[in-house]
Structure 1
Amino acid sequence: MSRSRVVVVGAGFAGFRAARTLSRTLRDEAEVVLLNPTDYFLYLPLLPQVAVGILEPRRVTVSLHDTLPRVRMVLGEARGVDLDERRVHYTDPEGTRGELAYDRLVLAVGSVNKLLPIPGVAEHAHGFRGIPEALYLRDHITRQVEMAATGTSAEVNTARRTFVVVGAGYTGTEVAAQGQLFTDDLARKQQAVGPRERPRWVLLDIADRVLPELDRRLSSTADRVLRRRGVDVRTKTSVKEATSDGVLLDDGEFIETRTVVWCVGVRPDPLVSEVGLAVERGLLLVDSKLTVPGHPEVFACGDAAAVPDLTRPGQYTPMTAQHAWRQGRVAGLNVAASLGHGEQRNYEHHDLGFAVDLGGLQAAANPLGRPLSGPLAGVMTHAYHLAAMPGNRVRVAADWMLDAVLPRQAVQLGLLSSWSVPLDTASPELARVPGTPDKEE
């Protein structure tokens, strides 16, 4: 008798955890196949530290081959799902099309940059969802500070030293906080070759406070740290238009800049709405067991699914790594149960708290509802990330220790150009290079 095949699409927090749970539960009794564009799991919360040179890219990328030894890896991007034939169609990195038959399917394709109909944003802003974007931003920031130190136009130099982050959620707040420290250090090193003008970071959000999704005490802590560090925090403010010379705000002010980092949130991967199943705000509707109604062989979790929040009746779980990680485990257990191993269970999880790394020794956290700030929160935040990472812990800790005692290397490698990391992309984990297939096509 042939073994059943379980196909997991996506290796983010939900997909990785589902594949690992399945491999440990089913072992050799079923084939577990993981379809993903890259051969690594990205620990996204530490990506801002890659953009400012604290961590090297491989530190936040965990090898799927090393951590999922019983799982068959298939490199490729899913292009569609045939529910009747039970097949997933994909394209590999060289453009060859393929398909995977499945007995059970777990859709965990994650999310991409959220777009808004604002003129010029798609052309002049860059997102922050993958390694290519973080590497590009690191090079770009370094280049702007270096060019500003030797430029002949004071107006252009000021624009190069101005960095605008749109969106004051987790990612935007951390990018602005880490970025201000990074550029201050770069500017000090350039002081010998040009006049010292402190780089300016502007953090915008249409909400009335930074970190609007968190407790007000955490929000106040982050706001206080940012302003004390010199970040220009603008709440109740949004972008009306973006150009190659800067951004026009809705209050009429024009900020000259060469850098716009788009961190307004995420949207489900476009594949979700193309499957042909019921969706809610672009998310696949599932029941409390993470099963798609009418298709007991299909499961969905993480940022791909609208999961009922049993702790808040009538609502769906938010799109956070904390929920995705735990939903992945439940999805894996329920898929195994559908194949005769154990019993299915409902997904129910109470938030354990949040941590926001503000750079240096500063952080804001509320573990188990207890608000913390300052160095204590910083230690707790670093400890949390080390505990949560499924690999590379020693290497990450070593990079942190080296960063604490050695100066960062202020170099730009020039590996990625602006057009390689477009904001409007369904594949932020991949850089566009000549001769590679384009998923949007």
Structure 2
Amino acid sequence: MTTRIVIIGGGYVGLYAALRLQQKLRTGEAQVTVVNPENFMVYRPLLPEVASGTLEPRHAVVPLRAVLRRSRFVAGSLTSLDTEGKVATVAPEAGPELTLDYDELVLGTGALAKLLPIPGLAECGIGFNSLAEAVHLRDHVLRQLEIASATTDPELRRCALTFVFVGGGYTGVEALAELQDMATDVLAGYPELEASELRWILVEALPRILNTVSDELAEDAVCELRGRGIDVRVNTQLESAEDGVLTLSDGQEFRASTLVWVAGTKPTPLVKDLDLPVDDRGRIVVDETMRVQGRDGLWAAGDCAAVPDLVNGGVCPPTAQYAVRQGRQLGDNLAERVRGGTPVPFRYRSRGEFVTLGKNKAVGEVLGRRVAGAAAWAARRAYYATQIPTFNRTVRVLGDWLVGMPFGHDVVNLDSREQPRDAFRQAAGGRT
């Protein structure tokens, strides 16, 4: 009898588990179904470079249908799960709900931005957890440069040129550094502006930024950022953002047109509704093989799960490195289940870390050795070029990087794509 495997989520866990199953299983051994709202996977380590315009947005995604040719793909979202009857209910983009019977089911639903109840945050903040947000942020920063260069109002100018990022993890540091590098690079096209007028602020509640890397690597990043005039504030929290006026816990208060919230993530709300065992952070509790405790045929990994870290202790950090390896191990474990074998515990030791800080700027640690500058930047790019799935995407990413190296950043602001029907509505409104 063919084993029915359903994978919920097309991110790192879902994609790499499905790819592994395609490699390991023979035709007819299992029927694999992947469910995801979009028909692509976002390769998140490349989002900061999408935001700075270094990469074409479409090149930072992997088309699921193209790479999972031996799997069924359903564009939809999980709405309910009957773990006793082993039935998953999925809502497609349109039409009635679908019911998917399964023998083995993987939950890789990822995470969303974790917002705190800060006055004004929901109204003024910008997230950085998706391709659309990365593209929007680039257009937004360029729009602020245009506003500042055209206005005669000094307060509006200061507000437009103040960029605040809350959250000093990988995402916050890399996004801020890439965008600051881009803004500085394009200033030659804005003779009305001075580099000293641009104010970049990184706010972190913990005693240091980049809390998941070594103290030495974090310090290298801080030195690079502060050397470029970026205001790095640790042990500081955002207390209010009402009406665009930001109030920090250190007593400072100022206006800013750009507030980027990258202060952590939380599992998708669906996890709470599935009646599964969760830890104090809302992550699904799994054993070392990534099986959900007390649920036969149910597995979870990635940001939505508390996967034990057998190497360093505690729980695996929510990074791409770990999620990719968890997905591959899940694929191996599912293949073992199909063939009556024994799943293997997940065990991974990181070989290094890289933090990109702009063009020719990065810091890293490889096999215990610290690297910085252009060498770290080139090593990081070489690593991710080989890691992004499919030769097609590798070539496209390398092409973007090679073409962009001798040239500066593009200053074209395409924010009109956020309201693509505006021109049509204006034309319709002007009919005589």
Residues 1:96 and 1:159: Cα distance change in structure 2 (over 3 Å): farther
Contact 2:212 2:317 in 1 (8 A): no
> Which residue of structure 1 aligns with residue 415 of structure 2?
414
1:165-180 matches, within 5 Å, as 165-180=165-180
Q: Give, in angstroms, the shift of residue 27 of structure 1.
A: 3.4
Matches within 5 A, 1:127-166: 127-166=127-166
Paired with 2:338 and 2:193, the residues of 1 have a C-alpha distance of 68
Secondary structure (helix, strand or coil) at the match of 1:397 reads helix
Same amino acid, percent of matched pairs: 38
Superposition pairs of residues 48-197 of structure 1, within 5 angstroms: 48-94=48-94, 96-191=96-191, 194-196=192-194
Could you tell me whether the CA contact under 8 Å between 2:9 and 2:34 is conserved in 1?
A: yes
CA distance in 2, matches of 1:99, 1:154: 59
Aligned-residue offset at 1:99: 2.5
Q: How does 1:249-288 map to 2 (within 5 A)?
A: 249-280=248-279, 281-288=281-288
Residue identity matched to 2:331: G
Q: 2:24 aligns to what? A: 25
Check conservation: 2:186, 2:409, Cα contact below 8 A.
no
1:316 aligns with 2:315: yes
TM-score w.r.t. structure 2 length? 0.92
Query: How far does residue 347 in structure 1 lie from its aligned partner after superposition?
Result: 0.8
Residues 310 and 238 (structure 1), Cα distance of their counterparts in 2 relative to 1, 3 Å cut: same
Q: Which residue of 1 aligns with 2:430?
A: none
**Alignment partner of 2:296: what SS?**
strand
Counterpart residue number, 1:437: none
Residue 237 of structure 1 is matched in structure 2 by: 236
Shift in Å, 1:96? 4.3
- Helix, strand or coil for the counterpart of 1:371? strand
**What CA deviation, in whole Å up to 9, does each residue of 1:105-125 have, x standing for no partner?**
001111111121212212211
Cα drift, residue 95 of structure 1? 6.0
Say if 1:183 and 1:127 are closer, same or farther in 2 by CA, change over 3 A.
same
Q: CA deviation at 1:243?
A: 2.3
- Which digits, 9 at most, give the CA deviation of each residue in 1:394-420, with x for residues without a partner? 1111111111112332112224659xx
Alignment correspondent of 2:427: none
- More displaced, 371-380 or 104-113? 371-380
Q: What is the TM-score with the length of structure 1 in the denominator? A: 0.90
Ranges in structure 2 where 5+ consecutive residues have no aligned partner: 420-432
Q: Which residue identity is paired with 2:6? A: V
Partner of 1:428: none
SS in 2 for 1:292: coil
The C-alpha deviation readout for 1:359-414, integer Å capped at 9, x for no partner, is 11111111122211112111111111112111311111111111111233211222
Q: Residue 352 of structure 2 aligns to a residue in which SS?
A: coil
Asked if 1:404 is matched to 2:417, the reply is no
169-178 or 89-98, which deviates more: 89-98
Distance change >3 Å, CA 416–CA 117, structure 1 → 2: farther
The 3-state SS of whatever aligns with 1:351 is coil
Q: Which ranges in structure 1 are unaligned for 5 or more consecutive residues?
A: 419-441
Secondary structure of 1:143's counterpart equals helix
Structure 1 stretches of at least 4 aligned residues deviating more than 6 Å after TM superposition: none
Letter in structure 2 aligned against 1:154: P
Give 1:403's aligned amino acid.
Answer: G
